[in-house]
Structure 1
């Protein structure tokens, strides 16, 4: 017959009334506010010029018998510029997957949204120091170590942003 005290106390799930609500065990939930900004710019300019001449002359005495010449000229001017800026703002709740030997929390989670028939998937993994978790059980993505944040969209709009296969083939051939 089980005792009443044993049914009231479970060491694996017990949390004192005076403790905070921060995640500290495997399976606990933690909210991550993702504020990521990135930008990159690159440019390149190339110019080459080449001119080759080859002349030959055949003379007999003072009289010129034959003259020939070959000339080849080539020019190339090229340049390019790429610029990209990204901004991701999202709040995502993840789970504690592991407690590391130093006390850090290994967290991971995923959120799936469907907006206008476009599926958006956000995946997050990282390592969090317990002292970086706020009293409200929230941590900023900038405080994650070894962070891996993936934001992917699938649907008509995402497909339209991809270059056609024939354009990729022509680029690969150099046309």
Structure 2
């Protein structure tokens, strides 16, 4: 136990010392070089050759993505689209339960080939097998519970198509960091999108993202003050009361 306590204290000191360099310094942005989005946008684009039959040569407008009326929706690795997050949800659940049960059993052996009478003679005064077994039981339980939750979040973030699966589904990843004074607000979005769910404005809403992972938080001096100290977190885990 003593060695475990010393080890925990040593780990706490190491963690604390590793953050001493952040004193008086602004939190650094997360590097964007080397991320999945960076590799997706750096990969060479494979242009699909257009057949002459697919384009009306008599038209003044071309059918390419760069034309005035071309479709600029994200559809290949490295393309960028906008994720619209508008969460306004509420839930209220209330339930109650009540249960009761009672039971009684009485077993008597007044006559069984004369055996009870003979045994009664051997029993102490006042004892008899006329009422051999008698039990009574009563139980009851009740419970009440309620849950009430309200969430509202409105955000927009640009995401990059990091991969196109074999069935055409787009895997997207997006991140955004805004630093104000000594605090960074972070927004992370990942998930899978069908190309047909991307609107003409090259936007997709969060409710059309499969396996969506949305994180909105921060890091910096304000977040650091709001978090419990390492020692308090350890004692909250170890103390049983």
Would the alpha carbon gap of residues 84 and 140 (structure 1) be closer, same or farther in structure 2, given more than 3 Å must change? same
The 2-side partners of 1:28 and 1:146 are apart by 20
1:101 maps to which residue? 166
2:66/2:72 contact within 8 Å kept:
no
User: What SS class does the counterpart of residue 196 from structure 2 fall into?
Assistant: helix
The 1-side partners of 2:155 and 2:181 are apart by 18
Q: Please state how far the C-alpha of 1:163 moved relative to its aligned partner.
A: 1.7
Select the structure that is richer in strand. Answer: 1
Would the alpha carbon gap of residues 16 and 166 (structure 1) be closer, same or farther in structure 2, given more than 3 Å must change? closer
1:12 maps to which residue? 47
User: What SS class does the counterpart of residue 15 from structure 1 fall into?
Assistant: coil
Q: Which has the larger radius of gyration?
A: 2
1:167 maps to which residue? 232
Q: How does 1:25-174 map to 2 (within 5 A)?
A: 25-37=76-88, 86-171=151-236, 172-174=238-240
Using the size of structure 2 for normalisation, the TM-score is: 0.46
Using the size of structure 1 for normalisation, the TM-score is: 0.61
The 1-side partners of 2:152 and 2:224 are apart by 20
The 2-side partners of 1:165 and 1:96 are apart by 38
Would the alpha carbon gap of residues 168 and 83 (structure 1) be closer, same or farther in structure 2, given more than 3 Å must change? farther
Across the aligned residues of Structure 1 and Structure 2, the Cα RMSD in angstroms comes to: 3.2
The 1-side partners of 2:202 and 2:65 are apart by 15
Structure 2 portions without partners, runs of 5+: 1-44, 49-63, 94-145
Select the structure that is richer in helix. Answer: 2
Structure 1 portions without partners, runs of 5+: 1-9, 43-80
Tell me how many residue pairs correspond in the alignment. 130
Q: Please state how far the C-alpha of 1:170 moved relative to its aligned partner.
A: 3.7
1:35/1:142 contact within 8 Å kept:
no
The 2-side partners of 1:20 and 1:148 are apart by 28
